[in-house]
Amino acid sequence: MSSDTTSTTEPNPALRDGPKVPPEQSVLGCKDVTKTFGAVTAVDDVSVGIDEGEWISIVGPNGAGKTTLLNILNGFYDPDPGGQVYLNGEDVTSLKSFKRARRGLGRTFQGLELFESEDVLENVMTVRAVKDHPNLLEALAFYGPGRKTEAQNMQRVEEVLDYLELWEYRHSEIAGLPLGIRRRVDLARSLVLEPDVLLLDEAMSGLTFDEKYDMIRFITDLHEQENLTLVMIEHDLEVVTDVSDRMLVLQKGGIIARGPPGDVVEDPEVRRVYTGVD
């Protein structure tokens, strides 16, 4: 039977509101952040405030500016003049990424930055050593005379490897491991720095269903048991709506919607961006 009924759904104005938490008072946030590369605007006047213990997912089509925004938050990129980044209420715009890491900001990478010829234990231990030393030379001295914290560092590394079910792989060379295990090693390297906030850049990219399930299980337990604040880039909207407290949708560098995942995915503007159909 034919019907003349047409959709009258309108965009939800509430999803266009500003940050829920003022960036200056957030555990992690940014204010008026723009990033241009020549004639290309990768991030366009973005303001975000994330509360302690929240799980925020950033979604959007390829080229929307998601990874660039994460790179600004953790200090790999400087925002254009006028933009500010805050960590635990402190303006950290001028701080390098390693200094933000020491203040509790962790990060995983879409393109894995692992030492391919080293084993799992060496990969994770090297990063843990950097936590206790102000520069690379002193970090390397960890393996020589500067071993005063070796026992404590090893204990933390062992705890993380055991938690992520990586202990059996501790002496396996990275180059010979499957992608699911390598992504867990990348997560382990972030966790041994004991972050308060963790940025996850497509931590499940390329994983099988079972590998993705394991990764979500580990991350969810961290979020619930340790109140770890999470900022996650992920393309799987089903995963995002299941686990996130809030969602941000980027398009052409700007935020077009933000709010509870269930509301955001039903928003007609968001659906248009993903499907190309009004």
Residue 191: CB partners within 8 Å, gap ≥ 6? 106, 160, 163, 164, 198, 222
In angstroms, the CA 269 to CA 277 distance is 9
Judge whether 228 and 50 are in contact, CB under 8 Å.
no
Contact 23, 50 (CB under 8 A): no
Mean of the pLDDT values across residues 93-114? 90
How many angstroms from the chain centroid is the CA of residue 130?
20
Instruction: Specify the pTM.
Output: 0.86
Using the predicted structure, report yes or no on whether residue 39 has a pLDDT greater than 60: yes
**Angle subtended at Cα 176 by Cα 170 and Cα 180, rounded to the nearest 5 degrees:** 75
Please indicate whether residue 144 or residue 274 has the higher confidence score (pLDDT).
Answer: 274
Lowest mean pLDDT among 13-17, 20-24, 86-90: 13-17
Asked if residues 27 and 52 have their Cβ atoms less than 8 Å apart, the reply is yes
Q: Does domain 20-104+197-203+228-278 have CATH number 3.90.1720.10?
A: no
Please write the tens of the pLDDT for every residue from 245-269: 999 999 999 999 999 999 998 898 8
What does the mean pLDDT of the chain come to? 87
Task: Tell me how crowded residue 240 is: count the other CB atoms within 10 A of its CB.
Answer: 20
Q: Assign domain 112-194 to its CATH superfamily.
A: P-loop containing nucleotide triphosphate hydrolases (3.40.50.300)
Element (H, E) at 91: strand 90-91
In sequence order, which residues have a C-beta less than 8 Å from that of residue 261 and are 6 or more positions away? 57, 240, 241, 244, 246, 247
pLDDT for 177 equals: 95
Q: Where in the chain is the domain with CATH 3.40.50.300?
A: 20-104+197-203+228-278, 112-194
pLDDT at residue 151 tops 90: no
Distance, CA of 187 to chain centre? 10
Distance (Å, whole) CA 41 – CA 253: 7
pLDDT per residue over 185-218, tens digit each?
999 999 999 999 999 999 998 999 999 999 999 9
What kind and span of H or E run contains 44? strand 40-50
Q: For residue range 162-186, what is the model confidence (pLDDT) as tens digits?
A: 999 999 999 999 999 999 999 999 9
Query: Which residues is 232 bridged to in the sheet?
Result: 57, 200
pLDDT(127) > 80: yes
Task: Please measure the distance between the N-terminal and C-terminal CA atoms of the chain and give it in whole angstroms.
Answer: 24
